[in-house]
Amino acid sequence: MKKNIISIIVIMGLISWNCSRIETSSGLRQSIEKGVADINHAVTSISGTTGYQILSLSGDATKSDYSFNDSISLNMISGIYDFQPDTVMRFHDFCPYKLFKKTGESENVVVNLPEMMILHPKHLHFYEPLDTVYLNNFTITATDYHLYYNWWHNYEYKLTAGLTLDDKNAGSMDVSLTSRSFHNNSYTSEYTFKDGYNIAAVWQDGDTATSFFSLSKDNDTLFKESNVFIWHDYHKREKQYDLTIGDVEIKKSTGVDSIQVFLNGVLQKAAAEIITDDSDSTGSVCHKRDILLTFDDGTTAKLSDLMEPVHEQLKMLRESLHNMYFARRIVDYIALSIYFDTHEYHY
């Protein structure tokens, strides 16, 4: 009797496991569609924020013809600064006008300036006296900052800053960059929006190169695309590709003939195929490729079609993080302006 009970329990467990596996497998389409819907909702929420406007600035004209080979640390420029430009033009200095006035002490770097200077940085880089006086309603508070240069392709960079617009949270950013040589460098760049959404990009170069871009909400990953490359005959060869959308994970590894699709960690029977087109840039976020998914009912769908139109916005956000545009062209410009003014530096 006892053996029969044990046998029944084992059989019921196997049936339950198989049923669960079948239900998981049959939910691939539903899971991918839910994951894409969550991504769409996230991007829609993000796109209405000040942070999104900041990250969309890459097309605006900025000054890029200056060079700097010194080092700056947070304590060298710490304090509270207001945008109060002098009316007297100077010559041969980093900026023709002194733009910022120190108005208080702080262990951080706190800069108050007009929103216009942030959203239209050409007014900051090519400042000319204006008839209209704009309120200093945008604040950058850097709690960590250093810019260390040693020689060509040898430097370290760090920025941690919070942003506010009209005294309301506009998000925060964290950027870290290290370079030891042309083929030995790494960076991490992330932006956290006011509602808990976060985007992050990571790149590590060397004998093995890794990169990823992610979109998350609090601690939940909504989207992540990552790659691992190795050098082979002076060319990079992809060793592993990993794409996560909600509960669905798509993997391509060296030595595996097909692309593997997992749902909640369970390998699916459905097949997937990478479509590569070097002449087309409308594929995935990080690369010129697309993925064709085949579901259990035999129907197929391209990932780019499922993710329309937000995958283009994700590509823009990744590119902005990759270029560190806001950090380099706005924060660094402000930091250098303050440094040159307070240290009487001339070039």
Is the pTM higher than 0.75? yes
pLDDT: which is higher, 284 or 94 = 94
Query: pLDDT tens, 297-335?
Result: 888 888 888 888 788 888 888 888 888 788 888 999 999
CA distance 310 to 96: 42
pLDDT for position 159: 96
List strand residue ranges (DSSP E) for 257-307, in order.
260-263, 266-267, 272-276, 289-294, 300-302
CA distance 234 to 239: 15
* Confidence check: pLDDT of 106 > 90: yes
| Average confidence score pLDDT of the chain | 80
Query: pLDDT tens, 129-178?
Result: 776 778 999 999 999 999 887 666 677 899 999 999 999 999 999 999 88
Percent of the chain with pLDDT over 70: 77
Query: pLDDT tens, 206-225?
Result: 778 888 899 999 989 999 99
CA distance 251 to 265: 12
* Confidence check: pLDDT of 20 > 50: no
